[in-house]
Structure 1
Amino acid sequence: MDTTDQNTSLDDFLTWKVSALRDYLTKRGLTKDGTKSELAALCYSASVLKIEIIPSSFEIIKNNQLDYQNLLKINGQVLSDPLKIHDNWLDEKNGMKKFPPVYISDIVKYLSEKNTSGKMKEILQDYKIGKAYEYFKNGFLQEIFYHDIDARSKYCFLRAKCVPSQKIKEEEHDVWVCVEKATGEIGSSYCTCTAGLGGTCNHVAGLLFRVEAANKLGASACTSLPCTWKVPSKIKGVKPTKIKDLRIIKSRHGQSDSKRPLVSQSKSQYQPIPESKDNLDIFSAVLKKSIPNACIFKGFVTENVEETVTKPVSEDITAYTIQDIKTKCNDQTDFLSNMPKYSESDIQKVMFSTIGQSSNEKWHEIRSGRLTSSNFYEIHTKVQSYKKKEGVTFDPLISRLMGYKKLNPNIRSLKHGREMEPEAKLCYLAGMKKAGHTDVNITECGIFLDKDMTYLGASPDILVDCVCCGLGVVEIKCPLVQKCGKCTTFCSCCVPDYLYVDGTRYSLKKHKYYGQIQGQLAITGRKYCDFFYIYM
């Protein structure tokens, strides 16, 4: 007897036999000890709380099989089981150039869709700087194999083995991920570990981080395996070592590894003899380096010269759009003669409201119809061509200026530049500090409008200021450059020609970036522009 519903009362349960009550509780994993009245009360509580029957081993296996089959169904397409495909797998050396463009944004998107609970922030933090990234960095994840499925399929399989972190001599986990070839969007994943059916275990994330690292290095776009990329060797074991000789390594996504000995040099060389100068500042500096989060430092105010991330201001800036200005004019002459003049506060209002640039819808609205610095060179050359030959069409250029035609954001080169830009900004800041610039700061910005010719605009990548150089802008380029495949160390063989004249200095005067930089300086009113080309 096991059929109950929400209306089953305590009196109903009291009419049951003790064996039936115990059977009811056993099927739900509850204790079956006690008097009949106690058992009836437990059954009634389980009914009210809607505690489900624990499935049998056979039912669990059957449900797992159904869940696994569902992992192979992506957008209505049923794919073959990669664990049963034994032919046509490409190893990393031959398959890396076919790796899909998976970046951190794709990984975060996939994990967030798989984990819908309120603990998403905690989960993502763990994936980005925790155990999952360690699997990749420390070689627990083995060589990744690529499978094209077939020439017509929009998806591909990536497969690898991952060594268990706690029991490295046990059988390795099989991990696979299904990814869209063109966009890098992750469709499905699986691992043979306990949490593998969920698709978001640390082993799956470790595989994705390895693919992301290949894309960031430009390895997947090369025709040959780069010297900076190594296929991981199989972990055979961990050699014992003295505790004092241990090196603690903590890997963080987007940062270089931090290494420190368990016993620091200052500890090993410590002498219990009082210092001749008891300098509190020196003592606190050393203490803070060892224990930065100690309560004693809560009252200390420290300068932070790291990158300033400014959030966009939530204001209505519709009146500044070209479309709004156009509604108040009758024709082209009227439009140009009645263009409004903006004050400095107007310009700052628009700039702060459009921070985030391409990810901010207001930025697109303000930019639509304006002549922006990134298009100055093309506008100039198009006009010059028209002067020579009147049949030249402006339609494609106008379409782009108006925002009618937008580039596919998943184009590999665009996606690479977009994903690498945050790291490039940090590299620029670190380089400025290393070069000795005083109190250098970088800040995000939106679009700047020219105060007189308000149909002109410019969107620098970041703003920079320091005591020694003053106010400037930075234009960052992170192109996906194919490695030469010949040099064994960093080289400039494939760096664009506009960066070099006779291999000694750069010259942009005949390139579209020169017009972009000049436009940014003129419209922002800043003193200089650092053209930061990062070759990763």
Structure 2
Amino acid sequence: SVVKGRRSRPSKRKIPSATFEELSPVLDTLHKHNKAVCLSGLEKYYTSHTVQSSTLPMSLACLHNTGAQSLGLTELQLHCVKYLNAAKVTEEQAEAIEVRTRLQHKSPEWYVWRAGRITASMMHAVFATTVEKPAITVVNRVCYPVNSFSNVQTTWGLEHEQDARHAYTQKMSTCHKNLQVRICGFLLNTAFPEVGASPDGLTTCDCCGKGCLEIKCPFKYRCDSIQQALDAHDKDFCLELTANGINLKKTHHFYSQVQTQVFVANAKHCDLVVWTQKDMVVIRIFPDVHFWESHLRKAQEFFQKVCLPELLGKHFSKRNAAASGHKVFPSGV
């Protein structure tokens, strides 16, 4: 068209974004082609694009040997020496496990790969117990992780995890260039595969590089501000007010958890998000090398002297069952 002797550009029509339902016929067509890996991030097509099991290592739960149950601890530990590398994984295997377990507690495989490994959430308890007489609750939670523990606190946290993640992303996007936040599965590090971690997310941005995300939604303070929670002087609350502002208590089990996540993921930091219905605070935790070295040593010793004897011969649960009259966990659990 011409306006006052000049040719004008036609106005651009705004085309609304298509909904998932409108795109479904196209996506279904793509789904028929085995190279359509772009669909692997969509829940509807996720299971068709997971890594095949032929690339996966053996589950540590499969180490159980009925004959080993008759051995004494000293003899059993000597027998376990040949299995010191049982947790070993390649980079390809670690990547496959992470992809297959991105639904975390909703995924049966998440429990399979956690069994027998010291996870980030268990690091504090493992460090606190002894390898000579380990607490049976710690042994069971490490060797036999099952989807059975649920209470109002954990339910609240799971229900509001996405709310907290969304609030975090909105807040941090304003000051971090090209921030990306994605969910992740069970992470393993080939340098110390006896240890694993499942952060609530992995983050990247142009300014800070790779990070972990850990979300906490404290049920006790769900209706309070962070300041109100601090003013309660609750020894069990994870945060404290110092001269440098609000920090995560180094004595709290969350500190062990996020440090484990940082080192397993080879991340530069972990952002701890504490979210309530009224407030949110983000605490950036950096690698604490001295802390990690001592905890990794203990975790590897626990794996060798406690996990392997339990996985092979159920030494500790068998001894506890004999003393209490309780049943031993069946093999493969």
State if a TM-score over 0.5 links the two structures: yes
Alignment partner for residue 338 of structure 1, among 63, 85, 97? 85
Q: Within the alignment, does 1:461 sit opposite 2:185 as a pair? A: no
Alignment partner for residue 227 of structure 2, among 475, 482, 492? 492
* Contact 2:239-2:248 at 8 Å conserved across structures: yes
Distance 1:382 1:438, change over 3 A: same
* Alignment of structure 1 residues 281-430 onto 2, 5 Å: 284=12, 288=14, 292-293=16-17, 311=46, 313=50, 315-316=52-53, 319-325=57-63, 331-332=76-77, 333-339=80-86, 341-383=88-130, 393-403=134-144, 407-409=148-150, 411-430=151-170
| Residue identity in the other structure for 2:94 | I
1:511 is matched with which residue?
A: 252
Distance 1:500 1:340, change over 3 A: closer
Alignment partner for residue 533 of structure 1, among 249, 274, 296? 274
Q: Distance in 2 between matches of 1:479 and 1:407?
A: 20
Q: Distance in 1 between matches of 2:95 and 2:226?
A: 42
| Residue identity in the other structure for 2:156 | H
Deviations 1:150-193 (A, max 9, x none): xxxxxxxxxxxxxxxxxxxxxxxxxxxxxxxxxxxxxxxxxxxx
Shift of 1:370: 1.1
Distance 1:341 1:500, change over 3 A: same
| Residue identity in the other structure for 2:220 | V
Secondary structure of 1:472's match? strand
Deviations 1:277-320 (A, max 9, x none): x788xx75xx64xx6249xxx9xxxxxxxxx6674625327633
Instruction: For structure 2, list consecutive stretches of 5 or more residues without a partner in the other structure.
Output: 24-40, 69-75, 278-333
Instruction: For structure 1, list consecutive stretches of 5 or more residues without a partner in the other structure.
Output: 1-272, 299-307
* Contact 2:105-2:147 at 8 Å conserved across structures: no
> Which gives a bigger RCO, structure 1 or 2 (Cα 8 Å, sep 6+)?
2
Secondary structure of 1:475's match? strand
Q: Distance in 2 between matches of 1:484 and 1:407?
A: 27
Deviations 1:345-401 (A, max 9, x none): 111011111110100000011111211111101111113xx7xxx7x6521111111
Distance 1:405 1:314, change over 3 A: closer
Count matched residues.
233
| Residue identity in the other structure for 1:362 | E
Q: Which TM-score applies when normalising by structure 2?
A: 0.60
Shift of 1:431: 1.3
* Contact 2:51-2:96 at 8 Å conserved across structures: no
Distance 1:336 1:373, change over 3 A: farther
Deviations 1:6-45 (A, max 9, x none): xxxxxxxxxxxxxxxxxxxxxxxxxxxxxxxxxxxxxxxx
1:451 is matched with which residue?
A: 190
2:173 is matched with which residue?
A: 433
Q: Distance in 2 between matches of 1:448 and 1:526?
A: 12
Distance 1:395 1:375, change over 3 A: same
Q: Distance in 1 between matches of 2:42 and 2:251?
A: 34
Alignment partner for residue 213 of structure 2, among 470, 474, 488? 474
Secondary structure of 1:476's match? strand
Q: Distance in 2 between matches of 1:459 and 1:494?
A: 26
* Contact 2:111-2:146 at 8 Å conserved across structures: no
